[in-house]
C-alpha cells in the first residue's frame, strides 16, 4: 500500500503547465514519463485517489522538462496551487480569520486530499503557531518544497504578513 492523494493536485499541475507552456508543454511532460505513468496520468480525474509517488514523479518531471531540475519550479507550482485552491469563498473566509486559525483549519482539511499524514498544530500565541506534518508516508524533497511554498502562499492569502516556515527535515 502506498500513500494516495486526490487527483485535484494532478489537475493543478496540468493547468499550471498549460498556462505557462501551452498544450505542447504538457505533452512534453507526459512524453518524458515512462509508459505506465503516462497511461495512468491520462485517466486521472480530480476527485479520484492516486499514488502520491506518481505525483512526486510528475512534479519532478515537470521540473526537469521546464525548470532547472533543482525544485525551484515546484516552488512556483506550490504558490500557484495555493492561489488556485483558495479562490473566492475560501479566500474571503480566510481574510476574516486569524492566520493561525487558518493554519489550524488547513490541518483539519489535510485528510480530504491525502490518505496519510496529519498535522500537529500548536498555537503558541495569538499570531504564532507551529505545525508539524507527521506520518506522510512518501518522503520526497520535491514534495516537501512544493508543500512549503503552498503553505507560505496560503498563509499570505490568509493575511499573514511575516510568514516564516522552516523545513528542518523530511
Give the residue among 58, 45, 53 at the shortest CA–CA distance from 6: 45
Query: Which is nearest to 50 in space by CA: 12, 78, 20, 22?
Result: 12
If one counts every other C-beta atom within 10 angstroms of the C-beta of residue 128, the result is 11
> Along the 170 residues of the chain, how does pLDDT read in single tens digits?
689 999 999 999 999 999 999 999 999 999 999 999 999 999 999 999 999 999 999 999 999 999 999 999 999 999 999 988 877 555 555 555 666 776 777 777 888 899 999 888 888 887 777 788 888 888 789 999 999 999 888 888 877 777 777 777 77
Determine the 3-state secondary structure of 121 from DSSP: strand
Nearest to 160 by CA among 89, 110, 106: 106
Instruction: For residues 89 and 94, give the distance between their C-alpha atoms in angstroms, rounded to a whole number.
Output: 9
Q: What is the per-residue pLDDT across 4-37, written as a single tens digit (0 to 9) for each? A: 999 999 999 999 999 999 999 999 999 999 999 9
Return the pLDDT at 18: 98
Helix then strand then coil, % of the chain, to nearest 5: 60, 15, 30
| Separation CA 80–CA 168 (nearest Å) | 23
Residue 18 is given by DSSP the state H
Report the distance separating Cα 151 and Cα 167, nearest Å.
11
Amino acid at each position: 500500500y502506498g500513500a494516495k492523494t486526490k487527483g485535484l493536485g494532478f489537475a493543478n499541475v496540468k493547468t499550471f503547465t498549460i498556462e505557462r507552456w501551452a498544450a505542447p508543454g504538457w505533452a512534453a511532460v507526459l512524453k518524458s514519463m515512462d509508459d505506465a505513468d503516462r497511461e495512468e496520468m491520462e485517466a486521472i480525474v480530480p476527485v479520484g485517489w492516486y499514488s502520491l509517488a506518481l505525483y512526486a514523479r510528475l512534479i519532478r518531471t515537470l521540473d526537469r522538462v521546464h525548470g532547472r531540475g533543482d525544485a525551484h519550479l515546484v516552488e512556483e507550482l506550490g504558490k500557484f496551487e495555493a492561489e488556485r485552491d483558495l479562490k473566492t469563498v475560501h479566500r474571503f473566509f480566510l481574510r476574516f480569520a486569524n492566520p493561525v486559525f487558518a493554519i489550524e483549519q488547513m490541518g483539519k482539511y489535510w485528510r480530504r486530499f491525502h490518505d496519510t499524514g496529519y498535522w500537529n498544530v500548536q498555537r503558541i500565541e495569538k499570531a504564532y503557531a507551529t505545525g508539524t506534518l507527521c506520518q506522510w508516508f512518501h518522503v520526497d524533497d520535491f514534495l516537501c518544497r512544493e508543500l512549503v511554498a503552498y503553505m507560505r502562499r496560503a498563509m499570505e492569502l490568509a493575511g499573514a504578513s511575516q510568514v516564516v516556515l522552516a523545513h528542518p527535515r523530511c
